[in-house]
Amino acid sequence: MNNQEKYNDDLLRKYISPEKIEKAPEGFTSRVMTHIQIETIPSAGTGGSKKKNLVPVISAVVTILLIAAAFLIPGSESDSLTSEVLDLIKSTKFSLPEIDLSSIFRLNLPSVLIYVFIGILLLTAFDRALYEIFHREK
Amino acid sequence: MNYKGDIYYIEQILAGNSNSFSYVVERHKNKAYNLAFRICGNHEEAEEIAQDSFLKAYRSLKSFKMKSSFATWLYRIVYNTAISHVRIKKKRVLSLEDFPADATDFIGNNTSEEEAEKEYMSSVVNFALQKITEEERGLISLYYYEEMNTEEISDVTGISKSNIKVKLFRARQKMLEIIEKVEMKKFIYYE
């Protein structure tokens, strides 16, 4: 410190007294601790959010499995596993209902639309079911 | 209360006893609040900054390396929080007219002349502090109020020791010029 600095330093020390510190207001500690208690309680909610984060993971896994299945299961020739699966599907005798839209609405709509509507309804129900499972904590 | 040392309580907190943090807050609250107040110049904001800093410290306690002092680590959080807070708020620039010329404004019902003079001096310093930059305010507070040396200030602020010396020199000069102007105004008022 040169003379000028020393002089300025001494002069400023005349004004600033370290003992004159501003004290934290009453109840400061309890207010901080309240915030901390609030932060530590919702740790159960973290599990919920982790569960919610599983949705895209499950979707991705299912999609990958379906794509892999599409590549791995041969279209024409069938091995034992494929034929068993196909036989199982056939044995359910599942078929989409044949509804003549034009007779209901008197409109000449392509018949595929009914399957689209049914698909939308099924997906909505599926989405609702998933929502109920993953938002139960709320 | 017999305070067992920061490290003892930090270990307790890390072991899952969050209530031990109250001892740490109780121990450091005044210094943290004072630093925040000197940088922002407002009691409500200082409390907000100090509270926010303690919460940040609690959340990142796991990252605290016990090799350095907890107080230095906490000051670093308070300093950075206060500086960013002030930069976001961008306060109105005070003019000399904002400072009361009459020293009797600082005399309360039960205050002696000596106490009133101290109050006045303290207000002059606070006024001068608000006229310099937030970084300079932080350095002046750490150096004069917390009585830290340039090495400790460097640990808190992350500014090099040589740079701190230069910045402190400039801040001192600025503050003394402002104090001189305020004193001159008071002198003219009484003349």
3-class SS of residue A18: coil
Whether B106 and B29 map to the same domain: the answer is no
- How far apart CA A16 and CA B34 sit, in angstroms, is 13
Query: What CATH number should be reported for the domain holding residue B103?
Result: 1.10.10.10
A44 confidence band (pLDDT: 50, 70, 90):
very low
Look at B55 and A8 and tell me if their CB atoms are within 8 Å: no
B153 confidence band (pLDDT: 50, 70, 90):
very high
Domain that holds residue B58: 1-91
Interface of B with A in 90-109 (CB under 8 A): none
Question: Nearest C-alpha of chain B: how many angstroms from A80?
Answer: 57
Residues of A in contact with B121 (CB under 8 A): 15
Residues of A in contact with B122 (CB under 8 A): 17, 20
pLDDT tens-place string over residues B20-60: 999 999 999 999 999 999 999 889 999 999 999 999 999 99
Query: What CATH number should be reported for the domain holding residue B45?
Result: 1.10.1740.10
pLDDT tens-place string over residues A48-89: 556 666 767 777 787 788 777 766 666 555 566 667 777 777
pLDDT of the residue at A138: 44
Show which of B91, B113, B134 is a domain's final residue.
Answer: B91
Residue B143, phi then psi, degrees to nearest 5: -80, -45
Mutate to test the interface with B, among A9, A11, A15 (most CBs of B within 10 A): A15
Q: What is the mean pLDDT of chain B?
A: 85
Residues of A in contact with B54 (CB under 8 A): 32
Show which of B72, B91, B110 is a domain's final residue.
Answer: B91
Mutate to test the interface with A, among B19, B23, B58, B132 (most CBs of A within 10 A): B58
What are the distances in angstroms from CA A63 to CA A71, A120, B17, B139? 12, 18, 44, 58
Helical H segments across chain A, by residue range: 3-15, 28-40, 43-52, 54-72, 80-92, 101-105, 112-134
Domain count, chain B: 2
pLDDT tens-place string over residues B49-104: 999 999 999 999 988 887 778 999 999 999 999 999 998 876 555 666 666 555 55
pLDDT of the residue at A105: 59
B106 confidence band (pLDDT: 50, 70, 90):
low
Whether B106 and B149 map to the same domain: the answer is yes
pTM over cut 0.95: no
Residues of A in contact with B32 (CB under 8 A): 24
Whether B131 and B110 map to the same domain: the answer is yes
For chain A, the domains span 101-138
